[in-house]
Structure 1
Amino acid sequence: MSVVYDDFFVFVGTYTTPQGHCPTARGEGILVYELDISTGRLLEVSKNTQIVNPSFVKISADARHLYAVSEIEEYDGEKMGCVSSYEVGEDGDLKFLNRVPATGGTSCFLDIDDDKTCLLVANYGAQGTNSVAAIPISEEGSLKQPDRVTGVLQFEGSGPNKARQESSHPHSAVFSHSGNFVYVPDLGTDKVHQLQLNSKTCALKRSVTTPFVQLAPGSGPRHLTFHPFLPFAYCINELDSTIQCFRIGKDQELSPTRTYSALPKEYAGTSTCADIHIHPNGQFLYGSNRGHDSIALFMIDAESGELSWVDYFLSGGKTPRNFAIDPTGTILLVANQDSDDICTFFIDRYTGHLTKSLWEVKLSAPVSLQIVHKPILADCRFTSSGFWRFLSRLG
């Protein structure tokens, strides 16, 4: 069996119950759309309502499996969230596989290594439930039980913002390009923790040489992304609305360089940053501002990796918590949490500028987006009707 591609799926995670930061949430779970990148149109094709608060979803590199956290207070009698696994059908249907504990509370982020052997979970939590876990993935795509001794790490510390930094709060956890190094932006301690991963056992340990990189006090690191082909990384800081640039060393450790504001100089209101992504061509970096309700655009210098401010573009709604760029770099989708919509923007490949399309989707509390090529499973044992259907989908 082989996999070919036709168009795109968009997977959307929503809050299904009211939250303190999203009091009107009434989402329907995980919704699946087809995306036409020529028009920006989104068409709902499937939904899975049998999950509570899937506030972050992550698709595997082969688009065959989807994983989702449930941001809940208790799972199986313990104060923690959980993670669900699904098989993605040809038409976007999600077949539930299994569910395992996240080993921490307020689960908020997932990442998968390219070989689909380990799933990282960031648990924002409170003191005692804040952690990062590495969960083994079976050959069939389901999740194995996490090893709570070797596969889970907790962090100590706090920051100057007493309301948000009373303890460590891992807000994401991402694999390095090689897959054997893990970076954890910790909003509560203003650190990016650097971990080593055994991909065969999913065991985590702190880097021996540099266990963390310290950022500015009160910055609140949230999400981190990598340049697609240069040795640079970028962390968006929630609390002070900045972006920290890093150079990646030969041992995969981060060295901070310069910091840039994600807000225009003339803005004096309240705002916090949320998400960050780089265009597939490596020239443009985007970050979302909640409060200013915008997407900031920067140019990336190809030699130094440093940023230069270009402009900002209104998100089309309120509280752009998450956004995503399609693999071709044509479309940028924004999930506006508090205006209950997803807005579609065209990306100018030469300038990076965004132009809002005529299409948007209304749905309650969208907070996580994944855009992937739509897989078509091609089996040599086609019936004649199946063969012609397969050819028609190839165009």
Structure 2
Amino acid sequence: MVSSNGAGRAFIGSFTSAGGRGVIAAAVDQDTGALTVLGATDAVPDPSYLVLGRGTGPGGAVLYAVSETERGAAAALDITHDVPRPLGEVRPVDGDSPTHLALAGGRLLTANYGSGSVTVLPVLAGGSLGPVVSVLKHEGSGPDAGRQEGPHAHQVLPDPSGNWVLSVDLGTDSVRICTLDPDTGELRPHGETVLQPGTGPRHLAFHPDGAHAYVLNELEPTVTVCRWDAVAGVIEAVDATPVLPAEATGDTAAASYPSEVVVSHDGRFLWVANRGHDSISVIGLDATGEKASLVTTVGCGGHWPRDLALDPAGRRLYAANERSGNVAWFAVDPETGIPAQEGSLEAPAASCVIFA
């Protein structure tokens, strides 16, 4: 997708309750990676995460936003113009404080942190959303009484084969695997893998080989390397790797609250955003995808990086720095994986970045 001036497009979520503009559309300079704001809408309160889809109407481009409010909601946006426009109704998700969303099997799914559940909404003709058809409630808890008193679904996503839906739960230290009924949209539990107690898994990203996944932990600054069996629908933990250097110990490590993990297109590197540490970790992967090691950390270009995104070409990394209110971009060295900052765009209360 290109903007009206021929540049690529990016979309930035920002928390309206903290002074953000909602959903921001930006042009992306293909040579420099620079972002330029085209327009914004605050029609969706606190859009903490975005995902791109396609409708059947004119232009076809649809953006979906999850509203991280106490009584959560999701919305479709027409992005064929410079200013995003609501498409159909903003739909309740029958879950509290949703933090993530994904498209799977012609439906939109949301991970509801507050209520510890995953919701399914149909995507209608033209790309708008229908009312909820399924809610799967997680059960369980973890050893951290302050953060793991119950389930807290933090992410939901389909696996690369498209046959499974995975949900990552910070409150239960686990990843659940489900099937999605193609006719009814009902989510049905298939299995659950419990990870190291007290680590608080937050997000998961797949290796390009489709046979490995990397679970980023929020309560302990580590990433768990896993094997993924797409035939059986089973995820198996192999090892855990620190995402901070050895000198970041004690309170510094505990308060780093890693937020996002991104895998390079060639499967050689992981990048992790660390909020309390205000850094991006560079983690090297061996040829098997099962051995990970911390290479270095670099500054995130702001404060409290809530999200990381790789541009479609895999040449630049973008960090949404929530508390400093900016999106910083970095050129990635293709040999070392180390990012070097090139620029920054003001974006108050930035929550996420995605590319068209």
> Which category of TM-score, normalised to the shorter sequence, fits these structures?
over 0.9
Task: Give the structure 2 partner of residue 175 of structure 1.
Answer: 158
What corresponds to 2:179 in structure 1? 196
Return the letter of the residue paired with 2:226. F
Is the Cα contact below 8 Å between 1:170 and 1:187 reproduced in 2? yes
Task: Kindly indicate whether the alpha-carbon contact (under 8 Å) linking 1:277 and 1:287 is maintained by their aligned counterparts in 2.
Answer: yes
Match of 1:337 among 322, 330, 350: 322
- TM-score, length basis structure 2: 0.92
Q: SS state of the match for residue 155, structure 2? A: coil
Q: Does structure 1 residue 317 correspond to structure 2 residue 302?
A: yes
1:279 alignment partner in structure 2: 264
The aligned counterpart of 1:360 is 344
CA distance in 2, matches of 1:287, 1:252: 26
Q: Give deviations 1:253-303, integer Å, cap 9, x for gaps.
A: 101100111111111213111001111222111111111111111122222
Matched residue SS, 1:100: strand
CA distance in 2, matches of 1:267, 1:60: 40
Conserved? CA contact 1:55–1:71, under 8 Å: yes
CA distance in 2: counterparts of 1:10 and 1:333, whole angstroms: 10
- Structure 1 match to 2:49: 56
Question: In the alignment, which residue of structure 2 is the partner of 1:65?
Answer: 62
Shift in Å at residue 306 of structure 1? Answer: 2.2
In structure 2, C-alpha distance between the alignment counterparts of 1:311 and 1:200, rounded to whole Å: 47
Q: For CA contacts below 8 A with separation 6 or more, give which structure has more relative contact order.
A: 1
2:135 matched to which residue of 1? 152
Once residues 198 and 347 of structure 1 are traced to their aligned partners in structure 2, the CA distance between those partners, rounded to angstroms, is: 40
Query: Which residue number corresponds to residue 261 of structure 1?
Result: 242
Alignment of 1:112 onto 2:98? no
Distance 1:102 1:226 in 2: 26
Matching of residue 82 in structure 1 with residue 73 in structure 2: yes
Match of 1:376 in 2: none
CA distance in 1, matches of 2:329, 2:83: 20
Q: Percent of counterpart pairs with the same letter?
A: 33
Give runs of ≥4 in structure 1 deviating > 4 Å.
3-6
- Kindly state the Cα deviation for residue 199 of structure 1 after the two structures are TM-superposed: 3.1
Give the drift of 1:53. Answer: 0.8
1:64 is matched by which residue type in structure 2?
Answer: A
**Deviation at residue 95 of structure 1 after TM alignment:** 4.3
The offset of 1:139, in angstroms, is 2.6
| 1:43 maps onto 2:36 in alignment | yes
Q: Alignment RMSD, CA only?
A: 1.8
Q: What is the aligned partner in structure 1 of residue 287 from structure 2?
A: 302
The alpha carbon displacement at 1:201 in A equals: 2.4
* Structure 2 stretches lacking a partner, 5+ long: none
Q: Which amino acid aligns with 1:137?
A: V
The 5-angstrom pairing of residues 91-130 of structure 1 reads 91=82, 93-113=84-104, 117-125=106-114, 129-130=115-116
Counterpart of 1:76 in structure 2 is none
Q: Identify the residue that residue 371 of structure 1 maps to in structure 2.
A: 355
C-alpha distance in structure 1 between counterparts of 2:95 and 2:82, whole Å: 33
Give the C-alpha shift of residue 61 in structure 1. Answer: 6.6
Return the alpha-carbon distance in structure 1 between the equivalents of residues 232 and 285 of structure 2.
23
Counterpart mapping for 1:210-289 below 5 A: 211-249=191-229, 250-268=231-249, 269=252, 270-289=255-274
Letter of the 1:363 counterpart: A
What's the offset of the Cα at 1:40? 2.4
CA contact (8 A) 1:37 1:331 kept: no
Give the stretch that moved more between structures: 265-274 or 233-242: 265-274
Q: CA separation in 1, counterparts of 2:345 and 2:11?
A: 13
The unaligned stretches of length 5 or more in structure 1 are 18-24, 74-79, 373-395
Structure 2 distance, partners of 1:212, 1:93, is 38
SS at match of 1:171: strand
Which sits farther off after the overlay, 342-351 or 192-201?
Answer: 192-201
Deviations 1:14-66 (A, max 9, x none): 1111xxxxxxx211111111111321211111111222111111112788111
Task: Quote the residue 1:385 is aligned against.
Answer: none
| Residue 291 to residue 138, structure 1, CA distance change in 2 (3 Å) | same
Query: What is the identity, as a one-letter code, of the residue corresponding to 2:48?
Result: S
